[in-house]
Each structure stands twice: as C-alpha cells, then as structure tokens.
Amino acid sequence: MRFLRDRFATCAPTRVAARTSVFALLVALAASACSGTGDGGTGDPPSKPAADPCGGGDRLSDVVSEPTWVDPDQAMSNSCSYPPDRPVKLSGLRIVAIDHFDETGNGASGNYYVQDGCADPIGPYSGMTVYAPSFSPPDLRLAAGDVVDVLGNLMEFPGPTSGPFPQCRTLPEIGGTMTFRFELGPDLPARTIPTTDLKTYEGARQWLGMLVRIENVVIADKAYESSGRYSAPIDVGGGISQIDVPSISNELFDLKNEGPLLAEGVKFKAVTGVVTYFYGFKIAPRSAADFEL
C-alpha cells in the first residue's frame, strides 16, 4: 500500500474510532503509522493516512436523491424544471473505476467513478461520476481503491444542448477537486442488484456510478457500434420502451476486441460493472474478468 511506503523506527500508537467494520483494519494500520512527511513532489498520495478514515464531509446519499423533476410527458424535454447546481463537500469516497479508455477517439475518457467508502452495507444513491476532476496537489496520481475527498459542485447534467435527455432526465455529476485520504486497495466488492432495477430510470438511477453485479444475464440482441461506442442490449423482461433497454458497454475497456462474444442469446452467470447513463443505462465492465461464464 502506498500509504505504508514510508516507515519509521518507532511509532506512538493512537486510538481512532472506525465508523464501520470495513474501516477497522484501516484504522489499525493508521495507528501503526508514524508521523512524518509524505511523498510530496512525486505525484503519489501522502504516506500518512488521515486520522479520521471517513472525514467530516457529507455522504453521497445526503446530496443525491430521487429525480422529482422527471416528466414522462416531455419526450423532447422542452420545458423542464431542472434543479440548480449546488456546492458539495464530500469525504470518504472510494474510487471504483477510472476511465482511461477513449472509445470514441475524441477524448471520451477521464471520468472517475466513486462510491461511498464509509457505508456498510453500500446502499442506494451511494455512487457518483466525477467529471474531469482537478487534483490537490496538481500532480496527484490516483488509482482504483483510493479513498478521496471531493470539493466541488453537484450538477444534474440534462444532456447535450443539441439533444437533451428525454423526459427531463439527468445524469448527476460532480465537477471539482479531488484530494487523497488513504488507499483501501483495488479489491472492490460489487453490490448485487436485481436486473429489474434497470428497467426504469428511477430504479437504475439509484445505482449510478456504483460497482454492481447482475446475475443470469442474457444478451437480447447482437452488439452494435456507433461512433466507437460498442454496446449489447440485455434482457430485463418486457414492458419497457426501446430507450429504456439497458446494455453492456465499452466505456472502460476495449470490450469488442478484449471481451467475450456478445451475440444474441449468449448467457452469463453474472456481469459486474459500473452503472452509467447517456440516453440510456449501461453496465460498463472494467475488464473481461468482470464476466462470469
């Protein structure tokens, strides 16, 4: 672990209360670490973890909620009452994935996907997209498993001006600055959710930005491509419109060339990925290992 890279000869133990069992081990590790300077100047996070693993900022579920502004009668979203941007100060967010894969070839990368690292268990509205963040210090390098704080603005992105999302739907995103708290490691647990949650905007929105696992996945039709985006619709049952059919997408890795065959009727025991939204909900696996055959 990066925060244990610098060790000292003697340390005075401290007592720190963990908010959840998930953080008990981290608190013990923090207690065994010694005071001193970090790894400043290299871009790596500091060696010494924060005394309070969770921090004093808000939790994601405190600032993201049900979309009361959605209007099923507004197919073209011509007169929506979108909520205004609001400042947020969030702490204890665990990075579940970083988008390094530019599937479109036009710079479609750089998003960070985070979820509440302090909740146990992880509940609805505990995930978020951090859009093209800045860092403090500027040369900070982060990885999946790092726990961070975010200071910025929460916005409900209504879609491109050339074509907003239908029915006044939005994508919650945070733009701001990320600072390192400590490293929890890349072994991220996924929340298993029913595929029926992906049938509606309201049902799927509560898992946005989170690492989820869906079971008994059936590819409903052959995979399709559009401007570099490669997706395959999944069967979640009938009774939904075409725009609400969720899919598996290549947002986080080269799914077409490095993933399994996504043909109509192909079945998987389970698929893990980050829940994303852009005109429709998608599960974005991080690698081929996220598919259970």
Tens of pLDDT, residue by residue over 200-235, are 999 999 999 999 999 999 999 999 998 889 999 999
Token pair of 117 as six digits: 């690292």
Within 8 A by CB and 6+ apart from 7, the residues are 33, 34
- Mean pLDDT, residues 272-276 taken together: 98
For residue 7, pLDDT beyond 70:
no
Closest listed residue to residue 180, CA positions, set 117, 273, 109:
117
CA 156 to chain CA centroid, Å, is 16
Which range among 45-49, 87-91, 125-129, 218-222 shows the weakest confidence by mean pLDDT? 45-49
Band the pLDDT of 258: cuts 50, 70, 90. Answer: very high
Coil, helix or strand at residue 25:
helix
User: What's residue 10's pLDDT?
Assistant: 33
Please indicate, yes or no, whether the overall pTM of this predicted structure exceeds 0.85. Answer: no
User: What's residue 3's pLDDT?
Assistant: 35
Per the prediction, the chain carries an average pLDDT of 84
For residue 43, pLDDT beyond 60:
yes
Which range among 43-47, 145-149, 273-277, 283-287 shows the weakest confidence by mean pLDDT? 43-47
